[in-house]
Structure 1
Amino acid sequence: MQKINIYEHLKEIVGDTDRVKCNETLSAYTFTKTGGEADILVLPESYEEICKILHFAKDQAMPVTILGKGSNVIIRDGGIRGIVINLLHLDAIRLEGNSVVAQCGAAIIDVSRFALAHGLTGLEFACGIPGSVGGALFMNAGAYGGETSDVLDQAVVADLSGHLLNLSREKLSMGYRSSAISENEYIALEGTFSLCPGDKAEIKEKMEHLTYLRELKQPLEYPSCGSVFKRPPGYYAGKLIQDSGLQGVRIGGVEVSTKHAGFMVNVDHGTATDYIMLIHYVQKKVKEKFDVDLHTEVRIIGEDTSAE
């Protein structure tokens, strides 16, 4: 099926030409401000639309890539073939007793603020995580001693055939930056966070303190993909990079942050290739100095593997 026919079919599914885009540059959809073009980008507004898109893609044997807020992803400069589904239009948050139910496109920061507004404690750790709920579920996002798995009770996901599944806490099998969602290539659509009543003033004070620490330690003034590497057992990635003398090292327009060595920042019109080359350089140098392998936390997707 030709691209134009695929475009027309997807337009029929979502009923809105503005939510289906051909040859869309993806740098506008990532925190690094890098990335090539998507063959077709579609922005669904319901689970039904998502399932129809997935079913259509499978029927046409077309690859599908899921994109949320783009905070922990590097999209290669060659872009992404097939269909890219961006989930940011699904951003509803609602209260159910002492639980907060949030759709995949909602910012996890907004979910933590929603919990605060209703006097619920448990999500304070997420007040500075820049990603979406879908991303948090996918990788079991965490910060400042808390993880998504600490409060996640259940999730609604879709498989690549377009079937909806309800996964309990046990079936989510969440570990360090991993989950059954990522392992089975499910698409996280909704999470239910089980929280506890708390004192609003205390919740707010904790969130303000964590926000202060984040602003103090992280290079928020530049585009970045957040923490680049997972924490190696027994070590901290940032400390290893710092002790390797790599802060300030630059390839192209991307450099290892001088504020926090665990971050790589886009300081001068950097490209995805710059990011990937710098990642590999840092991995090589840390391995040489400490014999420790650094594994990426950031997802690297798309075409153009020349830097690898």
Structure 2
Amino acid sequence: MSADLLRRLRESKAFDPTPTPDRMSQVHVPFDSLTDSTGGEYEQRFVAAVLRRERVALIGASGSGKSSITEFVLNGQQAENVAALRIRLGMQTDSLISDPAEFPRLLVNTIARRLEENKAVQKVAREVRGASRRPVKVSVGAGLPWLAGNLGIELGSVVNEPLQGEEVLEQAVRVLELISHSGLVPTLVLDDTDQWIRRPGIGTDPEPRIALFFGPTLRMIAERLPAACVIAVHDEYVSNPHYEQAREFLHTRITLPTLADHRMLGRIVTKRARNAVGDPSIRRGEVVDEDGLRRLFDHYGADRSVRRELSVLQDALARACDGGADVVGAEHVVSAIAAG
């Protein structure tokens, strides 16, 4: 591995721990292959459950790959008929506790916002097309390619009607039914639940939010909203009594595996590097040497967060580049870990 290629990896942020959703799906190493799962315990089981319109709990520590596997599965060819609706809880306030209508309102507002973004994208496309007189490729639906055409028009007629109370829930149901009638599987994606539950500034005690989410909110989703659902569950909640009571609402529960050795971590690093520079010939050990991978894996053992190790590696890569090295070595990893 050359110093020049290391610089290219650094410039492309190859080991960015929080890539955009589309890039996240591209760099995900399937757990089914990573663990040599012959029964398809992870990705295969996940996509099959969504296509059956089930509620899926993805269980794992922070940084273990819950968002990564979600993006990979829902962006895959097997899930091409899935209409994924990412409901961002992380920025919400405690109104989700005090107002039972807040979650369905959030669902409706998510569709409304995406439709508005779609209009803005189409407007720019028309202007560019008019100026150049050539076809213009645009990202339809602001990341939701299924949100277009007649379905977009029909949904727009529903979500633009401001409603309150029980009517908001009925409005959310109409949205999901319209999506279903178009031949798609509406799928609620709640992959940032921990950000909301543990978010500072909206109450020091997270227990009321845990009780709400795994109680009335999940019950309402299960009993009233006709959709598949993917829920990120931090592993510390598994022993919580509120989660225990909610298990009946979760058809499929998938506990993400931890990495067994430094070779698994090396496969993740290698795919990231190949994707960043478009070179499928890069092999394990050419970006980070074996001692460096072992140091990373030893550090990983503390809290089992792949995301944290990618952050460490990005720092170690910068140190290797600054020193003119040909490969990221143990000394660079140790320095990055020490720097925090």
Normalised-by-shorter TM-score class: under 0.3
> TM-score scaled by structure 2?
0.26
Which structure has the highest strand share of the two?
1
Which structure has the highest helix share of the two?
2
Higher relative contact order (CA 8 A, sep 6+): 2
> TM-score scaled by structure 1?
0.28
- In our comparison, the structure showing a higher alpha carbon Rg is 2
